[in-house]
Structure 1
Amino acid sequence: MTLRLGYGTNGLTDLRLDDALGLLADLGYDGVGLTLDHMHLDPLAPDLAERTRRVARRLSGLGLGVAVETGARYVLDPRRKHGPSLLDPDPEARAARTGLLVRAVEVAAGLGAHAVHCFSGVTPPDTSTDTAWQRLTGALTPVLDAAAREGVPLAIEPEPGHLLGTLAGFHHLRTLLGDPEPLGLTLDIGHCQCLEPEPPADCVKQAAPWLRHVQIEDMRRGVHEHLPFGDGEIDFPPVLEALAATGYAGLTVVELPRHSHAGPELARASIDFLRRAAPGVTGGDAPC
């Protein structure tokens, strides 16, 4: 099976969305990880439905697939990074994040996306672990209902430092929720290198039944810093071959959210690197 490669718009924030999509198509990417944010399909815009239709037409015209990502730093609160979260002590604040994710599911359905990505958030101070998990399950329930209704899986990402920070945490959440069909996993390959006990290729094999979205970048053990390929420690050929062997049909999206200043060049270098790393599973040569 050939992997479908994408690039995240959170690494192209200096480009207009139309320009970013055109760039990725020209470079030979199969799709895009579209982060809903003020500069790229603002999820709080009053004309979101019409904007979504325009983006859907643009994606179709370029032949690009899409996954919807929800990691915008300040889309809900201009003063708190990723705030409020699904773990916020204030029920109304948690509801705001839940509402954003429900809207993301609806946007994803309008775009024909293969998944909606999300994460748990950091456990607030003076909050017990049990309380944090209770908040998370309660806040996700309406999102999972929307995902079931729209036919778009919700793919939660283990994020270093978050309540749900590892693959073990994902399985704990599945158990707490009763293993709902719409709940899947976003596997970030760099995060596997950062903190999982098994090598990234083994993490891919273990996660295979629940894979709904994949993010990829280089990283070093114990340091949560998204790095361009070749700047970290990951041996990529076994990882890419393991991904292809799972039969995963969604996008494998390069995630370099702190590198927008060099986004176009890194988008080109990234697809070239991945094609060289595993030419049998990453779509062959770059276009002329």
Structure 2
Amino acid sequence: MIALEGNPNKAKKKGLCMKFAFSSNAFLRFNLLESIKIIADTGYQGIEIMADVPHAYPDQLTEQNIREIRTTLQDNGLEISNVNAFMHHADGDTYHPSWIENEPKLREKRVNYTLRCIELAAKLGARNISTEPGGPLEDMTREKALDLFRRGLSAVEKKAADNGIRILIEPEPGLLIETSSQFLEFLADLNPEVFGLNFDVGHFYCVGEDPSFLIKSMAHVAHHFHLEDIAPSRVHHHLMLGEGAIDIHNVLKSLDDIDYNGFVTVELYTYEHAADAAAREAFRYLQEWRQHNQIH
């Protein structure tokens, strides 16, 4: 059994700080190996790998494919920030099959997919996977949905623990768990050594919360961060850093204030038409912030 590591912000050593990654879910017009090379060439330290088509859907990967991914990562000096096991387009869509489907067979698909993603993460050397916060609440009471979500997570808990993989729940507007208080209440019934928070800055902003404040109040449960900007309307649409209403500089300062030394992954899947340019522009923004604040 591989021991699960604690929250990365507790393990900071002198001279270390947060690391930046870019999510492969913007690179749908490239295969995963191409995406790895582009993201590494841009200057990022990590990549979030989408465990879905056309990148790393577990059912479509052979052992040879997995070896090629590991080799390409190593050759390009890139770490895995997270395995994104949220979307399921290979056998559904962005949100379905969810953890809270009325149909048991559909819930089973989500469980089995997550089990395979855990195995994939372990083979690739990743530390965590992210998953949806239940799913869309459709034709069901909230109480029943929360119960189904807990049952589903309990079915994958042992596999995650045995493989040293942490499962990070990502609150999102319009889904079962949207806010910080809803997440914390739900997490109270889960094993904190196996489950945690994938903190999406834009998602919390969309539901009217202050991400910079939450970073400090939820540091004990947040193990990975998604970063994007959002328009003043708070409509859930990911924008380039600096082009929306979120105080990105203050968000990054808050992360530095808590001595976070894990990965912050830029997630700009809305820029599929120009993913490589979006990755470069976001990296330029982050580098300017580092230089301005003398963060190395």
TM over 0.5: yes
Aligned AA (2:221): W
Residue 112 (str. 1) matches residue 125 (str. 2)? yes
Separation in 1, partners of 2:259, 2:66: 29
Q: Give the TM-score of the pair, scaled to structure 1.
A: 0.91
Match of 1:146 in 2: 159
Separation in 2, partners of 1:34, 1:277: 25
Residue 216 (str. 1) matches residue 239 (str. 2)? no
Match of 1:61 in 2: 75
Match of 2:7 in 1: none
The C-alpha deviation readout for 1:171-218, integer Å capped at 9, x for no partner, is 1211233x4411111001111221143x22111111111111110000
Q: CA deviation at 1:247?
A: 3.2
1:233 aligned counterpart, secondary structure: coil
2:268 aligned counterpart, secondary structure: coil
Match of 1:229 in 2: 241
From 64, 79, 88, the counterpart of 1:50: 64
Decide whether aligned partners of structure 1 residues 148 and 73 sit closer, same or farther in structure 2, where only a CA change above 3 A counts. Answer: closer
Match of 2:6 in 1: none
From 178, 187, 196, the counterpart of 1:184: 196
Q: Percent of counterpart pairs with the same letter?
A: 29
Q: Give the TM-score of the pair, scaled to structure 2.
A: 0.88
Structure 1 runs, 4 residues or longer, greater than 6 Å off: 280-283
1:176 aligned counterpart, secondary structure: coil
Match of 1:31 in 2: 46
Residue 101 (str. 1) matches residue 114 (str. 2)? yes
Match of 1:252 in 2: 264
Separation in 1, partners of 2:205, 2:186: 22
1:155 aligned counterpart, secondary structure: strand
Separation in 2, partners of 1:38, 1:154: 20
Decide whether aligned partners of structure 1 residues 150 and 282 sit closer, same or farther in structure 2, where only a CA change above 3 A counts. Answer: farther
Separation in 2, partners of 1:249, 1:92: 40
How many residue pairs get aligned? The number is: 279
RMSD of aligned alpha carbons: 1.8
Q: Name structure 1 gaps, 5 residues minimum.
A: none
